[in-house]
Chain A
Amino acid sequence: MDDQENKNVFDGNDEPEKTESPEAPAEEKEASPVPEETAPESEPLDDKSLIESQLDDLVSQLKAKNEEWILKNDIQDWSGLVDDSRQDAEDFVLNESSDISEEKIEQIEVMEIDEDDERLCSICHRRLKLEKDGVTYEYCKRCRNELLETSYNWKSVVTFILSCVVFVFAVALSAVAIINSLGVSKAASLTEQKKLVSASNAYSTLLASSSGDSSYAPLSLKDFFGVNPGENTIRDYVKVLFQRGDLSTLKTVLDTYYSEDDFEKPQNSDIKPISDAVKGLYDVGNRATSIVAAFQGTITKDEADNAIAELEKMKDDESLDPIYLTYYQYYVTTMLQDGFDLQLEYLEKLKEEAPQLKIFYISSFASTYLYMGDYEKCIEYCDLALKDDVEDFTSWRLKIRALSRQKKYDEALALSQEALSLAKDIYTDSSDGSSPDVTYGHPVYLEQAIIYGIKGDMKKAQDAIDKAYQGQLTLDSAYLYAMINKKNGNDEAYDEVVNMLAQYEMTIPAICDEYISGAKTLEEVLIDGKVAWYE
Chain B
Amino acid sequence: MTALYVITKYLTFPGAFLRCFWEQFMCKLNKLPIENNKCLQTNEMCGHIEHEMSPGKAKGFFFTFIPGLLTFVMGVVCLIPPLVDLFILDVSSTPVRSVCYVLLYLAVSMLTNIFPSVEDAMVMWENYLEFGTGLRALFFLGAIIMKIGAFCEKYTVTFWTNLAIAALIIFL
Q: Which residues of A contact B (CB under 8 A)?
A: 123, 135, 137-139, 143-144, 146-148, 150-153, 155-160, 162-163, 166-167, 170-171, 173-174, 177-178, 180-181, 184, 211, 213-217, 219, 223-224, 228-233, 267
Contact = CB atoms under 8 A, between A and B. Distances in A.
Contacts of A224: 95-96, 99
Interface in B140-158: none
Interface stretch (B1-9, B30-38, B125-133): B30-38
Contacts of A157: 21
Interface in B10-31: 14, 17-18, 20-21, 24, 28, 31
Nearest to A158: B17
Nearest to A144: B33
B37 A181 contact: no
A334 B78 CA distance: 59
B128 to A, nearest CB: 18
A159 B17 contact: yes
B152 to A, nearest CB: 23
A158 B18 CA distance: 9
A181 B93 CA distance: 16
B67 to A, nearest CB: 11
B20 A138 contact: no
Nearest to B19: A156
A156 B17 contact: yes
A138 B89 contact: no
Interface stretch (B79-87, B114-122, B159-167): B79-87
Given A228-B85, A230-B85, A144 B38 contact: no
Contacts of B89: 177, 180-181, 184, 228-233
A157 B28 CA distance: 13
Contacts of A173: 80-81, 99, 103
B21 A230 contact: no
Most buried by A among B24, B31, B83: B24
Nearest to B55: A135
A184 to B, nearest CB: 6
A224 B110 CA distance: 22
Contact of B80 (A163, A177, A213, A228): A177
Contacts of B37: 150-153, 156
Nearest to B23: A156
Interface residues of B, number: 39
Nearest to A181: B84
Contact of B84 (A158, A177, A217, A223): A177
B103 A138 contact: no
B20 A153 contact: yes
B168 interface: no
B49 interface: yes
Contacts of A230: 85, 88-92
Q: 5 tightest A-B contacts by CB? A: A230-B89, A147-B33, A159-B17, A177-B84, A156-B21
22 contacts: A144-B33, A146-B33, A150-B33, A150-B37, A153-B37, A159-B17, A159-B18, A160-B17, A163-B74, A166-B78, A167-B78, A170-B80, A170-B103, A173-B103, A213-B92, A214-B93, A219-B95, A229-B91, A230-B90, A230-B91, A231-B92, A232-B88
B76 to A, nearest CB: 9
Nearest to A171: B77
B17 A177 contact: no
B81 A152 contact: no
Interface of B: 14, 17-18, 20-21, 24, 28, 31, 33-35, 37-39, 49, 52-53, 55, 74, 77-78, 80-81, 83-85, 88-96, 99, 103, 106, 110
Given A147-B52, A150-B33, A153-B24, A181 B88 contact: yes
A232 B92 CA distance: 10
A214 B96 CA distance: 10
Given A163-B18, A177-B80, A150 B34 contact: yes
Contacts of B85: 177, 180, 228, 230
B96 A228 contact: yes
A224 B96 CA distance: 6
A215 B94 contact: yes
A143 B36 CA distance: 13
Contact of B52 (A139, A160, A177): A139
Given A139-B33, A173-B99, 11 more contacts: A144-B33, A153-B20, A158-B17, A171-B77, A178-B80, A178-B84, A219-B95, A223-B93, A224-B95, A228-B91, A231-B91
A167 B95 CA distance: 18
Contact of B90 (A148, A170, A178, A267): A267
A211 B84 CA distance: 17
Contacts of B83: 177
A232 B74 contact: no
Contacts of A137: 52, 55
A70 to B, nearest CB: 23
Nearest to B20: A156
A261 to B, nearest CB: 14
B33 A170 contact: no
A153 B49 contact: yes
A320 B66 CA distance: 67
A267 B110 CA distance: 30
A230 B96 CA distance: 11
B52 A159 contact: no
A143 B90 CA distance: 56
A224 B102 CA distance: 14
B106 A148 contact: no
A166 B14 CA distance: 12
A166 B75 CA distance: 10
A217 B89 CA distance: 19
Contacts of B110: 163
B34 A167 contact: no
A360 B96 CA distance: 40
Nearest to A143: B33
Nearest to A172: B81
B17 A155 contact: yes
A384 to B, nearest CB: 32
Nearest to A173: B81
A149 B107 CA distance: 32
A483 to B, nearest CB: 51
A184 B88 contact: yes
Nearest to B22: A160
B92 A215 contact: yes
A86 to B, nearest CB: 23
